Amino acid sequence: MISERMVEAINKQINEELYSSYLYLSMAAYFEDLGLKGFANWMIVQSQEEKDHAMKFYYYLASQGAKIKLYEIKEPPSEFEGIKSVFKQVLKHEQHITKKINELVDIAEELKDRATFNFLQWYIDEQVGEEENAMEILNKLEFIGDNKNAIFMLDRELGQRQYIPLVQDKEG
């Protein structure tokens, strides 16, 4: 049986993931405004994936017969200071989420909650990928600087990203 403390921590993480989805959607809107459709597409896919991360926690709590609680989602920033600055924020945000996931793992360990500990391993791996993706784009942006042609090439590349829905284990 999952403990109250673990349930509360996961409910808060659902909010973190939904905020992440909202933040990336706001970044998508910023890129739409700049006419950078590829960058916007990348962010929309990112936003959709964050919703899936929230739902994975949702279904886990449901499978445990735990009470799911949704908190208010705060307003994300809507003004950004350029393309590179956006991706710096993405990386910083993902590092924050990694810290949050690690805290959940610490709680599961402390409570000797093996089921949740196992469940969280997926998020540990996912966070490695999330930070890596942000760093990769940031490195490219550092490299190309203000070269407009290169930015349009990157825009085309990021426009290729496709959303693949996460297969959710609804049965628990």
Task: Give the binding site for ligand FEO (CB under 6 A).
Answer: 17, 20, 50, 53, 94, 97, 130
Find the shortest distance in angstroms from Cβ 24 to ligand FEO. 8
Nearer to ligand FEO, 2 or 54 (CB): 54
Nearer to ligand FEO, 17 or 113 (CB): 17
Structure tokens at 103: 């805290």
Find the shortest distance in angstroms from Cβ 120 to ligand FEO. 12
Find the shortest distance in angstroms from Cβ 70 to ligand FEO. 16
Nearer to ligand FEO, 116 or 151 (CB): 116
Name residues whose C-beta falls within 8 Å of residue 84's C-beta, 6 or more positions apart in sequence.
Answer: 138, 141, 142
Chain residue at closest Cβ approach to ligand FEO: 53
Give the C-alpha separation, 67 to 1, whole Å: 12
Give the C-alpha separation, 25 to 130, whole Å: 16
Torsion angle of the four alpha carbons 151, 152, 158, 162, in this order, in degrees rounded to the nearest 10: 170
